[in-house]
Amino acid sequence: MAKTAFITGVTGQDGAYLSELLFTKGYRVFGGYRRTSSPNFWRLDELNVRNDIELVEVDILDTGNLIRAFEKTKPDEVYNLAAQSFVAVSFEKPVLTGEITAIGVTRVLEAIRIVNPKIKFYQASSSEMFGKVREIPQRESTPFYPRSPYATAKLYGHWLTINYRESYSIFGCSGILFNHESPLRGIEFVTRKVSDAVARIKLGRQDYLEIGNMDAKRDWGYAKEFVEGMWLMLQRPEPNDYVLATNENHSVREFIEHAFTYTGISVQWKGTGVNETGVDSKSGKTLVKINPKFFRPGEVDQLLGDYTLAKKELGWEPRVMFKELVEIMVQRDLERIQRSS
């Protein structure tokens, strides 16, 4: 019989790709979205999955709401992707971030425990939990050192998943996912901000890009592949926690350089610190400026993941690496912007 999955946060980047994946595996998919005056289904429309998902209004701030949703939909698997996921905003809204990203996990796990403890559970943990990294590369056993209210909230959800596994035998897996990006990434995250700006600059719709710390390094993979890892975790005989990453890292600066290179523009860096600029090496026009408003009170300087365990136990490994990822994103933004003219 076809399996049933419930995805919280279905309107986000990963929710859209995971729905698409689960349909290829014959699942019935219930998608939890929170009520707003104008829900945003653009990602589900881009992947053409909106009509196939059975959409359910669910807010992870409300336990009763979750209980009713699971009673009605009777899922075999729950993927908890809902979160206040933007690190920068977590410094502005630390309490709300805690309510959604940390306590939200308790509400989802309690609903599972009450409705049916046999439901398999995936928790979207994050490489941000490694923060000020204690070892390089980071693996499942690396000690955590969160550097933001977001990362601290994720750490709570991570340990709670382990706690419910040990206390109530709930099949709970925590995927410690390193940054994963795509053309469906929210525009506020640095990769999509850059791919969109570079495409606009190339097409004459924007003059320059304003950016924060260009020296931060991330291990960037392709979201479409990372959701496969989420599903694989719930198909194992025993629950466990897994790092998913590419084991390569690159700076924000390199991301910008390669994005421009892909459009045929070569960037040269001039000056230092907040006065550094990126200029078009042919025309001398300023293309990149630093704006300190994008600096964070606590920064994660570098992340690099070791996915050995996922490869060994799940047979998962990344295929799209840095340069191809940048190109996929810039190309898609060029097409979007050209289409919207």
Binding-site member from 11, 90, 174, 247 for ligand NDP (CB under 6 A): 11
CA distance 144 to 138: 9
CA distance 173 to 125: 9
Kindly tell me which of 40 and 281 has the beta carbon lying closer to ligand NDP.
40
Minimum Å gap between C-beta 123 and ligand GDR is 12
Amino acid at residue number 35: R
Kindly tell me which of 53 and 252 has the beta carbon lying closer to ligand GDR.
252
Q: Which does 67 bind (CB under 5 to 8 A by kind): ligand NDP, ligand GDR, none?
A: none
User: Counting contacts by CB under 6 A, is residue 249 touching ligand NDP?
Assistant: no
Minimum Å gap between C-beta 137 and ligand GDR is 14
User: 33 pairs with which residues across the strands?
Assistant: 57
Minimum Å gap between C-beta 256 and ligand GDR is 9
Sites of contact with ligand GDR (CB under 6 A):
85, 87-88, 126-128, 178-179, 188-190, 193, 211-213, 216, 218, 252, 294, 296, 299-300
The DSSP 8-state label assigned to residue 12 in this structure reads: S
Minimum Å gap between C-beta 221 and ligand GDR is 10
User: Counting contacts by CB under 6 A, is residue 258 touching ligand NDP?
Assistant: no
The DSSP 8-state label assigned to residue 144 in this structure reads: P
User: Counting contacts by CB under 6 A, is residue 153 touching ligand NDP?
Assistant: no
Kindly tell me which of 87 and 265 has the beta carbon lying closer to ligand GDR.
87
Q: Which does 296 bind (CB under 5 to 8 A by kind): ligand NDP, ligand GDR, none?
A: ligand GDR
Residue 174, by phi and psi: left (phi above 0), alpha (psi -120 to 50) or beta?
beta
Q: Which does 186 bind (CB under 5 to 8 A by kind): ligand GDR, ligand NDP, none?
A: ligand NDP
Q: Cite the DSSP H helix spans in 34-98.
A: 42-46, 63-73, 87-92, 94-97
> Which burial class, exposed, middle or buried, applies to 106 when counting CB atoms under 10 A from its CB (0-12, 13-18, 19+)?
middle
- CB 130: neighbour CB atoms within 10 A? 29
Reported in sequence order, the residue ranges of the chain that DSSP labels E, i.e. its strands, are 4-8, 28-33, 54-57, 77-80, 120-126, 172-177, 180-181, 209-211, 217-218, 221-222, 242-244, 250-251, 267-270, 277-280, 286-290
- Using CB under 6 A, list all residues that contact ligand NDP: 8-9, 11-15, 34, 40, 58-61, 81-85, 100, 124, 126, 177, 179-180, 186
